[in-house]
Amino acid sequence: GDYVAVGIGLEDGSQTSTAWQTRSAEQGSASWEQYLERRSLVLQFLHSHLSFHYLQHHQIKVELLKKCYFYLEIEPKCVNVRDNHVTHCTSILQLIDPCRLQRVKEVGRNQIQIKLSLLTELLELLEQGREELSSYVETRDVTTFLSQWDVIMQKLSTLSELMETLLSLEVPGQIYVKHRLVSCVDLRHTELNVRISLHAKMPLIFDRNESFAQEDWAKLKWFTENQESVLEPCELLMKLLTNGSKAEPGYGMVQTVTSDTCVVHNLKPGRCYEFTVRRSDTQLLVFENWHDSMILKTKPKGVDPMDSGTCALEG
């Protein structure tokens, strides 16, 4: 009887152990499948929303935005004004109070500076978030990964919101001001809804392959990233570099150009000149923070222009 009892006890223990191993294996398999599924979700988010190339694209876009020129866009551009029983179309700029316009430009300038600062900060946060998510994905410890899933989900939600904010800030929007730009007296009791927004224009960039200098003249050529078809007035600045020498005063000039090319004459041979190109200042210019500059050295006197082959052909 004792032998049988012991035998039964051993058999029950074996069944319990087998059942526990089965349940453990099933739980392990379920955890592994859950781990793979959730890890795949994070990887998909990284590849679609936070890939290196995607963030790099926005980094380049923000850096370009920092170099842009920002202008006020005022609608409508013209209004009908009645004067001595005669109605005529007048530019909205003629009706705007200069002091009020200046205040609006200050508001716009502040908005742009805040947005550019936020864009830089958002990119840093997104890059940091990308690194954190990558570290979670690289974790091979299933238990640790699953235990941190709530934190990971919160991180995904936060990064999605940051990306949406980034996309919205990359587009200049409306300016909200409390003061009227145009008084009712100026409009002769005509109701007018003036809408003000910000508009960005691409910076002008020198074409370093097409710009060169000869003995006493230089040819400058520039372009914009979006290859604008309509050329607007811009300013070309030229300055003789003297290395700080007081014996020879430096001099410069500013030339207004409505083109993408300019030839500057009457330069000194064998000297260095700094050229800067920028968009012309207008009444509606709000913010500018960057201009492209390049230095060209004229050829020494007596050097055969044909020695420079390509430059001679372009000149």
User: Tell me, what CATH number does 231's domain have?
Assistant: 2.60.40.10
Q: Indicate if 37 and 132 belong to the same structural domain.
A: yes
pLDDT confidence bin for 42, thresholds 50/70/90: very high
Which residues have CB under 8 Å from 88's CB, separation 6+?
80, 81
> Is the residue at 248 inside a domain?
yes
Which residues have CB under 8 Å from 170's CB, separation 6+?
58, 61, 62, 65, 119
3-class DSSP state for residue 128? helix
- Which amino acid, residue 22? T
Helical H runs in the chain? 2-49, 52-66, 92-95, 98-137, 142-147, 149-169, 310-314
Q: Indicate if 188 and 237 belong to the same structural domain.
A: no
Q: Interhelix angle for 2-49 vs 149-169, to 10°? A: 10
Q: Which of 197, 214, 230 is the last residue of a domain?
A: 197
What distance in Å separates the CA atoms of residue 187 and residue 87, rounded to the nearest whole number? 11
Q: Indicate if 157 and 209 belong to the same structural domain.
A: no
Q: To the nearest 10°, the Cα dihedral for 201, 203, 209, 211?
A: 100
pLDDT confidence bin for 246, thresholds 50/70/90: low
- More reliable by pLDDT, 312 or 1: 1
User: pTM for the whole thing?
Assistant: 0.78
> Is the residue at 131 inside a domain?
yes
State the average pLDDT for the chain: 83
Lowest mean pLDDT across 126-130, 149-153, 182-186? 182-186
| 8 Å CB contact between 214 and 302 | no
What distance in Å separates the CA atoms of residue 139 and residue 145, rounded to the nearest whole number? 7
Query: What is the mean pLDDT of the segment spanning 115-133?
Result: 96
Q: Indicate if 207 and 134 belong to the same structural domain.
A: no
Range of the domain at 238: 202-314
pLDDT confidence bin for 1, thresholds 50/70/90: very low
Q: Indicate if 167 and 57 belong to the same structural domain.
A: yes
> Is the residue at 10 inside a domain?
no
- More reliable by pLDDT, 192 or 211: 211
- Overall domain count for the chain: 2
Q: Which of 143, 172, 197 is the last residue of a domain?
A: 197
Tell me: the pLDDT tens digits for 256-309?
999 999 999 999 999 999 999 999 999 999 999 999 999 999 999 876 655 543
Q: Indicate if 221 and 160 belong to the same structural domain.
A: no
